[in-house]
Structure 1
Amino acid sequence: MGGGGGRGRGGSRTQRRHFRQNRENVWKRPKSDPSSENNPENNGENRGWQPFATQNPAFDEYYKEQGIVTPEEWDGFIEVLRKPLPAAFRINSSSQFCSDIRTQLENDFMISLQAEVSEGGELVPIRPLPWYPENLAWHSNFSRMQLRKNQTLERFHEFLKLENEIGNITRQEAVSMVPPLFLDVRPDHFVLDMCAAPGSKTFQLLEIIHRSTKPGSLPDGLVVANDLDVQRCNLLIHQTKRMCTANLIVTNHEAQHFPGCRLKKSCSTASEIGAEKEPPISQLVFDRVLCDVPCSGDGTLRKAPDIWRKWHVGLGNGVHPLQVQIAMRGLSLLKVGGRMVYSTCSMNPVENEAVIAEILRKCDGSVELVDVSSELPQLVRRPGLKKWKHHRQCNKVRDKGRWLVSHKNVSKYRKSVIVPSMFPSGRRFTEPTDHNGSMEVEEKHENGGNGNVEDALESSDDPATLANEQDEEVSDFPLERCMRIVPHDQNGGAFFIAVFHKRSDLPANQGKPNSLEGELGPRNDEPQVQLQNQSTEDTNGIVASLADGTDETFSEAASEAELIKDELDGDSLELDPSVTCEENVNVLEEAQAPSDKEIDPKKAGGKRKLQTQGKWRGVDPVVFFKDEATINSIKTFYGIDESFPFNGHLVTRNSDANHVKRIYYVSKSVKDVLELNFSVGQQLKITSIGLKMFERQTAREGNLAPCSFRISSEGLPLILPYITKQIVHASPVDFKHLLQYKSIKFADFVDAELGQKASGLMSGCCVIVLRKDGKALSDSIEVDESTIAIGCWKGKSSLSVMVTAIDCQELLERLLMRMETEKGSVEKKDKASNAKEGEEQDVKDMDKNGDEESITLETEG
């Protein structure tokens, strides 16, 4: 699940600590884990490691009562929940090699992996998910651990790793792919992903808006991907940069306080952005909002089995108000007529149906739940619950057997914690103040007690805490329109999804950032989850302070982050080297309370001081690049056609134009948002923006090149149709040799004409395009979806590839595969042609040999 919902300042220390420790998320414990050594099943022996305990009595008791599955299904539900989660992945639908990869899966791996299917398992080793459009998402019968450890699966594992790194596929839990599909995103939509890290759903949204774009063009829409935590934003950037998009903005805000960026009519923009007129948009509102909120994460038990021992009811209770607040903020940022999807990876009705019911109450008819039961018909889902029980459980009070079916049954000491919106009706019940009871609590505190209300409650038998079945509540809202996905229905994880349609503006004072401030304030009487003081949510989960005083975190996002790390087998995530994790904690705090205090550069890794020139400390400023001399030199050197829009589309992250190392390109939609952001005082804290288009030359011969900037690999596909200079075609053989050897002398090319043309280029960056069969080197360049091109460096006597090793490997494999396919097609065609000629000759021979022989041959046939 996406995370980064919201906390106060200093509320993310625990999740950062877990991120730094790179917590392993596998189905075994390390040898030093004491819980393994002291396991009763070990009979006192230290057996190195034991599987995670996959049971929790409190979990069983709670969910048996909630009724998310029938009693008859319970055993099957639990059995599947205790098994490792099968791997799943999605093909990037906007990738140049989308159809190639799909064909490889259908015709190669489905067959070659058949022998490796475990006994009693599924009939096929991998299969497309039947509910995902166009066979673009796949389910594997192998868990992530099996893929890593089984040598016979090595080729498939290497394929997944390589394609994931390139960006052609995304490894993602199957149920996590569902929410974006119900958003009904179109290429011209402005989309907000409120709690976006680790970025799998954001990547999915970008795929959708880019799907129908042609080479050299960009969609009209954009995606704003937000996350609370700086480190998670880095992970989000790492994930989404594989998309190579100019239509993405990554921001770093609490989701429930996401800026509205409303432009006041009196504002002038000329001084901020050098514009002569106001920006084309006056408020940042969205056509679609994905509200994938922080949650307790128990839907990810199969992927993160350590949740079993950490789970307790207080997790869901504590995060409920935050979920309501984030969802209300999302609806307030949604255009009238727009659609918002609310989702969690939790099975708890308090985090799901209860939140949806409270949203509908607050919106008072301005939004409606959409019935999407006819969409994705092959996706097995269950309707939402209209009634549920609520379990009041506390670490310090031994009344776990008590069930509350109405807010009326909540003890007066717990009414600030167990809020009315957690119950189906949402009705609030108030009681006259019991002065004697209050005095007793205060007196106990004064006489040396710990002052906790729960201690007073433990010694009382307040009848209000007892459940009365006659008070059982049922929601009046059509909550059956929500959907709950449970693990045993289609061998996956668990998820909850609700789809909202905004019919009109929200009622006054609803959806504003502080509308739930009272509910989210510090609570001294809440031991499970203290939202402001001691705990924070991970990007998809909630950190809860447990009885032993330690903080625990679990979430889908943490697992997905580790999946990336695991599958790269130690490759770094390229996190921002300018600040350390500890530094980021301070930056996040100081961004909201700037001070004149200087930051010790030693804490920043000794590389450079944190940026202080922009509004947000620790974040490089976003600056429009307007150096006409540099822009004109780039246009002239590469012969870039005037139809390519440069003006206002180039940005940098450095205010000093003389020391700009990278120039980024942004789409028109992102440009409009940037101009609005400047005009409203830079309310958006932007951590990443734009597509890296040009980079300053760093080679030894760079100073001799007429142009000081080269075209980056990420930006090449966009600008390729507009380049008229520094570009040549190469035959498949020479193109393959370039990828293999990385550098080739002009005289060594198989095609002598290519060597001559390459030697005639100006020194510096050039573009080599794979020539299609039958085309001459002098033919004009026609760029389409199948065009393959790479950037190279033209030196004194050779061409050198300026592409990463992994990109070279991928291109080489795709090229060889295509050449083999084409060769096979030609051979097949030749055989068919020869066979046809032979048949025609046989007919002629039969005619010559007379009617009798013809009849004999026909009879034998």
Structure 2
Amino acid sequence: MGGGRKRGRTQRRHFKQGRENVWKYGNKEARPDDPAANVESNPTWQPFATQNSNFDEYYKEQNIVPEDEWEEFICTLRKPLPAAFRINSSGQFCKDIMLQLENDFLKSLKAEVNDEYEMEAIRPLPWYPGNLAWHLNFSRMQLRKNQTLERFHEFLKQENEVGNITRQEAVSMVPPLFLDVLPEHHILDMCAAPGSKTFQLLEMIHESTEPGLLPNGLVIANDADVQRCNLLIHQTKRMSTANLVVTNHEAQHFPTCYSMKDHKEISKGEEVSKSYLQFDRVLCDVPCSGDGTLRKAPDIWRKWNAGMGNGLHRLQVEIAMRGVALLKVGGRMVYSTCSMNPVENEAVVAEVLRRSGGSIKLLDVSDELPGLIRRPGLITWKIKDRGIWLACYKDVPKYRRSVILPSMFPSGQSHDEILITDGIQEHAGIPGSNSVEGKVDSQIISQPENLLQPQDMCENLEKVAVSTGTASDESKLEENSSGSVSAKKLDGDIREEISGFPLENCMRIVPHDQNSGAFFIAVFEKLTPLQAIPTNPARHSTESRPHSANINRNLNNECKEEMDITNNVQDENINIASLATSDVDTMVNQSTGISINDKVSVCSEDNELQKPGVSNGEDNGPTDTKEVKSKSQSHGKWRGIDPVVFFKNQTIINSIRSFYGISESFPLDGHLVTRNSDSNHVKRIYYISKSVQDILQLNIQIGERLKITSVGLKIFERQKSNDSSTPCSFRLSSEGLPLLLPYTSKQIICAPLRDFQQLLQQRTVKFVDCIDACFREKASNLMPGCCVIVLNEGNEITNDIVVDASTIAIICWKGKTNLGILLSPSDGQELLERVALRFGIQIRTSPKADEIAEIDMDETKD
């Protein structure tokens, strides 16, 4: 459900773009593992380079893996990535698909194993709950080229298209599992495209939901690129959910949604009614350099350089901090990347902990997902800039300090920063602070929230003396009060910083541990609202002042926003417009130094190049009160995006309820939305859950600050029929049928298995050709128009229609002489195969099986 005049054309053009890296030679395309491509037929063809000396040097220096594992690590990176997929746990045919995998494909593909490290062709991932995720011993290219695997490949494509499975990299499935999602949670996916993780989150909130019911939670899936939002919508559409909102904002500037009653009502003594959008769970899968995806995107080998991670560090910190601000106290946030670079991983985590001032905690989740092989995060690393290794911020040339930031280093601070402690100034300006020449305990430097008490000062001064050489050299390593090593002395003049944060609680997944890609995950819990850090000019050195000042300004803006809500501010001069335009969204990224548009990242799931910070043209500046009040909901705020309008035409609603016999217990009022303000020309009506309804109402109150590109579940579509006797102008939608089916009592009949199979195969069946006489009579007696056919597992018709999780039903069109299904050919074929497998019947071939039914109606074009 999207808006915009060129939505269809843009979306089609976007989907046509190839996702795989190929070498192009004139009019030919050749892939490295294509047997048809050889030197004789194409003398200019060369395989992908799977090595990069800069890559080797960088990660050897960072000690990503022990030296004795390096060869195994690098050899694994040079092999194609095995395919993987996940079964939709909330899907109707979840158990059927699992049985098919275990009883059919496991046995039939056994002879195809050709990897010395793999014992099985396909197997469930041991760490994924319920055996719902599967690993294949074949790359995507092998699946396409191997004739023996053709049937299995067709199975994967078909089930993926209808939403029964999702083809996704195995390690990409990990972050949502650590969110510990419950059905009532409000979840924000900050950088959601292409949507595999979003789909996974939706599965989790729907997993235990009964037919006809909706969970209390919701997922807001956001992405900065409008074209990638189209891809996200296409991916999540297969889920058929009323609990999803897709938005198009830069993640670091995701709007604040906050409203309260007018001050005139407050002055009358009424209780303040406040509504503030915060989230129980936040998934922060940020744009990254993507070198963890080398096995499926080998073109990264030739492009890789250390500057890719350095250029994204600032953006990643800003996105993560915005996620922390939007997280509820007691909530959980997962930060993840598909990069191995500590500058994009541990350095970002340390900076988020540092800025949060004790408001969040880095969780140790080593006891969760016990089958998952993971390694602890690093506590020390170095920065490489333009071929030069930098051990601490002091080593950074002055002309590069707008690009190489203090937060990239383990200590997170510049060498001459002054710390203010309870009115006592302790200078960290000793040369090489937190290094061999001079060190202040990392409890001070890395964790400013834990300010020193006077009784602790002597102990820390002793540690400084040790590191500067004024104390005895008995100990080369010092530990702070949290038990973390803060610095160590190396041979010669080499310095090495060590973070004082428990970064070992992070996890890094490396390829050779379980034949996968690489990934990094950190799990946070929010303990208290963010606390502002007082701005003191003496705290910042001249050379680092622009960066430090910007940090405090941004953090204080986030804190101000939370403190206003937490402290229940009741200011009579506050109005909805001023609340709607909080300081957070007027932030200007003045410290970037380089254009965000120049930063390109590789998506962790589909290898498509993404510009993570592409401006969407939105104006997040202050909004005049009169302008907000004069903004009509029907006109919409965002250019190119149709407004979301509540559908309130009671005449149409009553006709729909009456024609289909929809029970009064199924709420329609307030739950129907469209993208057209003219109810007489509405083509599609969407259904939203109660949780989404609250979000939309709040968004309207505050002046449509959320740029919504898709919302709701398509449930009704306007129909054009040659038969003017059709009493209802809207037909049911296949996507919304599972939700509406338990509440429908009219235009619904049961069909025996033989007639149901005939309908799926022939798509259009004349009444005289119906096999069962009772079904023929009931079908011909239906009113002209849309109807529902429910499969009766036996061959006898029953008047009692019982709907449960196993019920199979399809939407049909009842014409004058025939019955035709309103289902796409691919969906119809997949359902036919599911029915055949469930009931052990053989599919009869039919010349009409692949044709679109010619029925006596003109379907409305989407």
Q: TM-score, normalised by structure 1?
A: 0.77
Question: How many Å separate the matches in 1 of 2:823 and 2:618?
Answer: 39
Name the counterpart of 1:677. 699
Q: Give the CA deviation at 1:23.
A: 4.2
| CA-CA distance at 1:46 after TM superposition | 5.8
1:472-621 alignment runs, 5 A limit: 472-508=496-532, 509-510=555-556, 512=558, 521=591, 523=593, 530-532=594-596, 534-537=597-600, 541=601, 554-559=602-607, 588-589=616-617, 613-621=635-643
Match of 1:720 in 2: 741
- Among 742, 746, 752, which residue is 1:731 paired with? 752
Aligned partner letter, 2:358: G
Q: Is the 8 A contact 1:215 1:718 kept in 2?
A: yes
Instruction: Label 1:165 to 1:382 Cα distance change in 2 as closer, same or farther (>3 A).
Output: same
For residues 526 and 208 of structure 2, what CA distance do their matches in structure 1 show?
27
Name the structure 2 match of 1:791.
811
Quote the residue 1:660 is aligned against.
Answer: 682
Q: CA deviation at 1:798?
A: 1.0
Give deviations 1:65-90, integer Å, cap 9, x for gaps.
00110111111100000111010000
Ranked by relative contact order (alpha carbons within 8 Å, sequence separation 6 or more), the top structure is 1
One-letter amino acid of the structure 2 residue matched with residue 617 of structure 1: R
Matches within 5 A, 1:688-699: 688-699=710-721
| 1:192 matches 2:213 | no
Structure 2 CA distance for aligned equivalents of residues 412 and 174 of structure 1: 43
* Aligned-residue CA RMSD (Å): 3.2
Match of 1:94 among 86, 90, 113: 90
**Per the alignment, do residues 412 and 258 of structure 1 end up closer, same or farther by CA in structure 2, a change over 3 Å counting?**
same
- Residues 813 and 822, structure 2, Cα contact 8 Å, conserved in 1: yes
Matched residues in 1 for 2:813 and 2:841: separation? Answer: 31
Q: Which runs of 5+ in 2 are unaligned?
A: 1-9, 32-37, 419-489, 533-554, 559-582, 623-632, 844-862
Partner of 2:456: none
Q: For residues 267-286 of structure 1, what are the structure 2 equivalents within 5 Å?
A: 282-286=275-279
Matched, 1:22 2:17: yes
- Find the partner of 1:255 among 236, 247, 251: 251
Q: Secondary structure at the match of 2:667?
A: coil
Q: AA paired with 1:535? A: D
Q: 1:83 aligns with which of 63, 79, 96?
A: 79
In the alignment, the residues of structure 1 paired with residue 671 and residue 797 of structure 2 have an alpha-carbon distance, to the nearest angstrom, of 33
Residue ranges of structure 1 left out of the alignment (5+ in a row)? 1-14, 270-276, 394-399, 433-465, 524-529, 542-553, 563-580, 595-610, 824-861
In the alignment, which residue of structure 2 is the partner of 1:239?
235
The percent identity for this pair of structures is 63
- Taking a change above 3 Å as real, the CA distance of residues 231 and 154 of structure 1, as seen in their structure-2 partners, is same
Change in Cα spacing, 1:657 to 1:517, as seen in structure 2 (3 Å) is: closer
Q: Aligned pair in 2 of structure 1 residues 593, 48: CA closer, same or farther (>3 Å)?
A: farther
Match of 1:804 in 2: 824
Q: Are residues 1:311 and 2:307 paired?
A: no
**Is the CA contact 1:225–1:251 (under 8 Å) kept in the aligned structure 2?**
yes
- Does structure 1 retain, via aligned residues, the 8 Å contact 2:836–2:842? no
How far did 1:430 drift? 4.6
Give 1:415 deviation, angstroms. 1.4
Task: Report the secondary structure of 2:598's partner residue.
Answer: coil
Kindly indicate whether residue 484 of structure 2 is the aligned counterpart of residue 471 of structure 1.
Answer: no
* Residue 381 (structure 2) aligns with: 388
SS in 2 for 1:343: strand
Distance 1:665 1:36, change over 3 A: closer
Specify whether residues 16 and 473 from structure 1 end up closer, same or farther in structure 2 by C-alpha distance, changes over 3 A only: farther
More displaced, 234-243 or 15-24? 15-24
Cα distance in 2 between the residues matched to 1:18 and 1:759: 44
Specify whether residues 267 and 679 from structure 1 end up closer, same or farther in structure 2 by C-alpha distance, changes over 3 A only: farther
Query: Structure 1 residues 17-26 or 286-295, which shifts more?
Result: 17-26
Letter in 2 for 1:419: L
The equivalent residue for 2:767 is: 746
Distance 1:634 1:469, change over 3 A: farther
**Cα distance in 1, alignment partners of residues 262 and 747 from structure 2:** 48
Q: How does 1:757-768 map to 2 (within 5 A)?
A: 757-768=778-789
1:352 maps onto 2:345 in alignment: yes
Structure holding more strand per residue: 2
- Deviations for 1:782-831, whole angstroms, at most 9, x for unmatched residues? 100000000000101111101111111011001111121899xxxxxxxx
The whole-number CA distance in structure 2 between the counterparts of 1:166 and 1:43 is 40
Partner of 2:112: 116
> Match for 1:790: what amino acid?
I
The alignment partner of 2:283 has SS state of strand
Relative to 1, partners in 2 of residues 1:591 and 1:803: Cα closer, same or farther, differing over 3 Å?
A: farther
CA distance in 1, matches of 2:117, 2:94: 29
Looking at structure 2, the residues matched to 17 and 704 of structure 1 have their Cα atoms a distance apart, in angstroms, of 37
Q: Which residue of 2 aligns with 1:290?
A: 283
Q: CA deviation at 1:392?
A: 1.7
Secondary structure in structure 1 of the residue aligned to 2:832: helix
> C-alpha offsets along residues 213-269 of structure 1, whole Å, 9 cap, x if unaligned?
000000000000000011000000000000000000000000000011011432899
> Which residue in the other structure is 1:413 paired with?
399
User: Displacement of 1:779 after TM fit?
Assistant: 2.7
Match of 1:337 among 322, 330, 335: 330
The verdict on how the C-alpha distance between 1:520 and 1:86 changes in structure 2, with shifts beyond 3 A counting, is: farther
User: Out of 729, 732, 737, which is 1:708 matched to?
Assistant: 729
Q: Amino acid of the residue matched to residue 391 of structure 2?
A: V
Q: Distance in 2 between matches of 1:688 and 1:288?
A: 21
Matched residue, 2:178 = 182
**For the Cα contact (< 8 Å) 1:332–1:511, is it kept in 2?**
no
- Which residue identity is paired with 1:749? C
- Cα drift, residue 510 of structure 1: 4.5
Q: Secondary structure at the match of 2:741?
A: helix
- State the SS of the aligned residue for 1:704: coil
Aligned pair in 2 of structure 1 residues 431, 55: CA closer, same or farther (>3 Å)? Answer: same
1:132 corresponds to 2:131: no
8 A contact 1:363–1:510 mirrored in 2:
no
- Partner letter of residue 598 of structure 2? S
In structure 2, C-alpha distance between the alignment counterparts of 1:801 and 1:65, rounded to whole Å:
63
1:43–1:789: structure 2 CA closer, same or farther, 3 Å change rule? closer
Distance 1:590 1:677 in 2: 16
CA distance in 1, matches of 2:39, 2:120: 40
C-alpha displacement of 1:407: 0.5
Q: In structure 1, what is the Cα distance between the partners aligned to 2:727 and 2:609?
A: 43
Distance 1:797 1:307, change over 3 A: same
Amino acid of the residue matched to residue 497 of structure 1?
I
- 1:416 Cα deviation after fit: 1.5
Contact 2:586 2:621 in 1 (8 A): no
Residues 20 and 207 of structure 1, relative CA distance in 2, 3 Å threshold: closer
Q: Secondary structure of the residue that 1:496 maps to in structure 2?
A: strand
TM (normalized to structure 2)? 0.77
Q: Tell me if structure 1 keeps the 8 A contact 2:212–2:741.
A: yes
Asked if 2 retains the 8 angstrom alpha-carbon contact of 1:625 and 1:650, the reply is yes
Q: Retained in 2: the 8 A contact 1:382–1:485? A: yes
Where is the helix percentage greater, Structure 1 or Structure 2? 1
**What's the CA shift for 1:748?**
1.3
Q: What amino acid is aligned across from residue 331 of structure 1 in structure 2?
A: V
For the residue of structure 1 that corresponds to 2:398, the secondary structure is: coil
Length, aligned pairs only: 697
